[in-house]
């Protein structure tokens, strides 16, 4: 990576009520970012609508769309017009009965530069994603763009050091996570604080362990469970950018829409990896047990 600095933006948003309204908000955010000299914009997970995985319903599959399709055409057109690298996140209909949670990258062009299908799929109360998404089959492959090699992962992937490491080993220059995570409103404040701090900490650890900048864009606002089974989710925002030693470069608030903009020093990874050569000292001869589910 030869460039020194990269101006990035994270668009932390709430659901606006419809796909077109959400895409309108995204367009406004991209135009604002471009006007401020941003080159790379990361959007939140499943930004086209509500977080529908709070319940299991076959009706929600109507929200899925093909890639390429309506949303990629609109976002790609904006990426080309505004000369932006954009990381989007869509509910992909690959075929009837086959769906993925898919990140799509545009490189200053209407054409799709690459995509990543979410590999780790959760199945927890209010996060019933296994009902909707087939695990990704593309692997952990960075996507080449004009601003660098993007190691794009999605939400639940955030908890797995293996995912970040494999992106780093494949030559990623940055780690990026579109995200949708929040609290059960019935949890007490201490539990809420522990959860949010754990989410931030584990990602900062990925930045440190791999010597790479990291961008994490979360949604914000309360979304009710339409089925009334759970208490709904209060998405905790807190989108942030960290440097290669885990240092905060920028952080959004818990509540409220926000276009978070900062500059990333892309040359620092080289320096950090020289003083902390974690890749050099890995004992790859001793890690075979990582391929086991558990050591009995």
CA distance 175 to 266: 12
What percent of the chain clears pLDDT 70, i.e. is strictly above it?
Answer: 99
CA distance 133 to 118: 8
pLDDT of residue 55: 94
CATH fit for domain 5-291, picks 3.40.50.300, 3.40.50.12140, 3.40.50.1820, 3.60.110.10: 3.60.110.10
275-295 pLDDT tens trace: 999 999 999 999 999 999 999
Asked whether the predicted pLDDT for residue 59 surpasses 60, the reply is yes
Residue ranges covered by each domain of the chain: 5-291
CA distance 133 to 46: 12
In this prediction, residues 56-68 reach a mean pLDDT of 97
C-alpha distances in Å from residue 81, one per residue of 28, 33, 86, 110, 146: 13, 13, 12, 9, 15
Residues that are catalytic:
45, 118, 155
Q: Interior CA angle at 71 toward 219 and 124, to 5°?
A: 40
The band of 219, judged by pLDDT with boundaries at 50, 70 and 90, is very high
The band of 228, judged by pLDDT with boundaries at 50, 70 and 90, is confident
Q: What is the pTM of this model?
A: 0.97
The band of 226, judged by pLDDT with boundaries at 50, 70 and 90, is confident
138-148 pLDDT tens trace: 999 999 999 99
Asked whether the predicted pLDDT for residue 1 surpasses 60, the reply is no
Mean pLDDT, the chain, whole residue set: 97
189 phi and psi angles, rounded to 5 deg: -65, -35
Asked whether the predicted pLDDT for residue 182 surpasses 60, the reply is yes
Asked whether the predicted pLDDT for residue 227 surpasses 90, the reply is no
Asked whether the predicted pLDDT for residue 265 surpasses 70, the reply is yes
Contact status, residue 15 vs residue 222, Cβ threshold 8 Å: no
> What ranges in the chain are assigned the alpha helix state H?
19-35, 70-82, 161-169, 189-210, 268-275
pLDDT of residue 253: 98
The band of 2, judged by pLDDT with boundaries at 50, 70 and 90, is low
């Amino acid at each position: 990576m030869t460039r020194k600095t990269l101006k990035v933006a994270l668009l932390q948003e709430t659901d606006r009520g419809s796909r077109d309204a959400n895409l309108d908000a995204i367009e406004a955010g991209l135009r604002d970012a471009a006007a401020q000299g941003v080159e790379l914009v990361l959007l939140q997970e499943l930004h086209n609508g509500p977080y529908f995985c709070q319940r299991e319903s076959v009706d929600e599959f109507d929200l899925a769309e093909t890639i390429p399709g309506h949303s990629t055409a609109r976002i790609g057109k904006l990426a080309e017009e505004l000369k932006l690298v954009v990381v989007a996140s869509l509910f992909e209909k690959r075929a009837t009965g086959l769906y993925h949670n898919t990140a799509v990258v545009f490189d200053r062009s209407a054409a799709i530069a690459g995509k990543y299908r979410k590999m780790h799929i959760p199945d927890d109360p209010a996060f019933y994603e296994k009902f909707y998404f087939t695990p990704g089959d593309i692997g952990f492959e960075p996507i080449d763009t004009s601003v660098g090699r993007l190691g794009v992962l999605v939400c639940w992937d955030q908890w797995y050091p293996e995912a970040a490491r494999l992106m780093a080993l494949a030559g990623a220059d940055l780690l990026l996570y579109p995200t949708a995570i929040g609290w059960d409103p019935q949890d007490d404040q201490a539990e809420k604080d522990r959860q949010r701090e754990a989410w931030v900490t584990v990602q900062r650890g990925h930045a440190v362990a791999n010597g790479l900048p990291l961008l994490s864009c979360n949604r914000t606002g309360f979304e009710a469970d339409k089925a009334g089974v759970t208490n709904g989710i209060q998405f905790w925002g807190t989108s942030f950018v960290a440097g290669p030693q885990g240092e905060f470069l920028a952080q959004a608030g818990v509540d409220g829409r926000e276009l978070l903009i900062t500059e990333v020093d892309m040359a620092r990874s080289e320096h950090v990896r020289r003083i902390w050569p974690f890749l050099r000292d890995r004992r790859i001869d001793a890690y075979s047990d990582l391929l086991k589910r558990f050591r009995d």
